[in-house]
């Protein structure tokens, strides 16, 4: 796996270097292909971001013209598309999982009602069987059915708890990925700010405003995902 990631990093560096060369006609297709390769390796947003940062450092883009940094940002954004698409599919799966959880909840309630009815039936049968020893076998059978239903109820309840816990973990990972992606964007913007501060005051102010918007968007992402997992942050 480590060798595969190393080869992906090398291909990413080569593709980004070629993309930044004047007159390149390949467009952003190489970035998209690299993104698909990252998905095939199970790489998430943060992993691809690290590969991009290493490539930017090796190409020494931090001190170069802002135009190169912008092209590098666009290249990275295109490479992220396949990973973002997998997150979209995961969110669709989450909707299905919520529906399944709701169905399991309803089934659990139905089993609880059924269990109470069985328990009441067992009591009634016991009273009747006390008057006739010949009905002892029926009493035992009803008791066994009640215990079996109780066992099924416990199993279904456990499944619901496991599904809910797995969903919370998945949403937590999505939150980490979204925050990491936004913070990476802020980092790239700050590198660009360092260069533009030397050249254009107007451009510098515009980049500051853009970076502030990224920060606000990150905060919104945190609140949105927090709402999905049922957490209400204090104002």
* Torsion of Cα atoms, 108 then 112 then 113 then 117, to 10°: 140
Helix residue ranges per DSSP H, 131-234: 136-199, 201-228
Residue percentage of the chain with pLDDT more than 90: 1
Q: Which of 54, 41, 52 is nearest to 83 (CA)?
A: 41
Cβ distance 12 to 58 under 8 Å?
Answer: no
Q: Which three-class secondary structure state does DSSP give residue 24?
A: coil
User: What pLDDT score does 30 carry?
Assistant: 87
Q: Which three-class secondary structure state does DSSP give residue 229?
A: coil
Is residue 52 predicted with pLDDT exceeding 60? yes
Residues 6+ apart with CB under 8 A from 59: 13, 16, 17, 20, 72
More confident residue, 184 or 78: 78
CB atoms closer than 10 angstroms to residue 228: 16
Cβ distance 188 to 69 under 8 Å?
Answer: yes
Give the gyration radius of the chain's Cα atoms: 29
What are the boundaries of each domain within the chain?
A: 2-228
The model's pLDDT over 88-113, given as tens digits with 9 standing for 90+, comes to 776 775 665 566 556 666 776 776 77
User: Residue holding tokens 């816990």?
Assistant: 165
Residues 6+ apart with CB under 8 A from 49: 76, 180, 181, 184
The model's pLDDT over 189-207, given as tens digits with 9 standing for 90+, comes to 677 766 666 666 666 667 7
Instruction: State pTM to two decimals.
Output: 0.39
Q: Which of 31, 48, 54, 50 is nearest to 87 (CA)?
A: 48
Distance in angstroms (rounded) separating the CA atoms of residues 79 and 8? 12
Dump the DSSP string for 61-129.
-TTS-HHHHHHHHHHHHHHHHHHHHHHHHHHHHHHHHHHHHHHHHHHHHHHHHHHHHHHHHHHHHHHHH
Q: What is the mean pLDDT of the segment spanning 72-99?
A: 78
Structure tokens at 193: 């700010």
User: What pLDDT score does 170 carry?
Assistant: 80
Contacts 24+ apart (CB under 8 A), 213-217: 214/182, 214/185, 214/186, 214/189, 215/182, 215/186, 217/182
Cβ distance 207 to 189 under 8 Å?
Answer: yes
Cβ distance 169 to 162 under 8 Å?
Answer: no
User: What pLDDT score does 204 carry?
Assistant: 66
User: What pLDDT score does 235 carry?
Assistant: 46
User: What pLDDT score does 98 carry?
Assistant: 65
CB atoms closer than 10 angstroms to residue 167: 16
The model's pLDDT over 111-148, given as tens digits with 9 standing for 90+, comes to 677 778 877 877 777 777 766 666 667 778 888 888 88
């Amino acid at each position: 796996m480590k060798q595969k990631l190393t080869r992906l990093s090398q291909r990413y560096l080569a593709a980004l270097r070629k993309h930044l060369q004047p007159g390149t006609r390949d467009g952003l297709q190489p970035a998209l292909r690299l993104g698909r390769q990252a998905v095939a390796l199970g790489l998430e947003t943060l992993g691809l971001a690290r590969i991009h940062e290493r490539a930017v450092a090796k190409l020494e883009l931090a001190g170069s013209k802002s135009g190169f940094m912008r092209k590098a940002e666009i290249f990275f954004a295109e490479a992220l598309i396949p990973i973002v698409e997998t997150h979209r599919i995961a969110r669709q799966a989450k909707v299905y999982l919520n529906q399944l959880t709701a169905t399991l909840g309803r089934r659990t309630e139905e089993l609880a009602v059924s269990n109470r009815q069985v328990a009441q039936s067992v009591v009634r049968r016991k009273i009747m069987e006390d008057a006739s020893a010949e009905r002892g076998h029926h009493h035992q059978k009803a008791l066994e059915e009640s215990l079996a239903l109780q066992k099924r109820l416990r199993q279904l309840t456990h499944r619901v708890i496991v599904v809910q816990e797995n969903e919370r973990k998945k949403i937590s990972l999505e939150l980490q990925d979204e925050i990491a992606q936004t913070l990476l964007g802020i980092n790239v913007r700050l590198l660009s700010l360092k260069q533009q501060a030397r050249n254009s005051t107007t451009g510098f102010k515009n980049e500051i405003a853009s970076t502030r918007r990224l920060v606000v968007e990150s905060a919104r992402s945190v609140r949105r995902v927090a709402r999905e997992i049922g957490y209400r942050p204090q104002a």
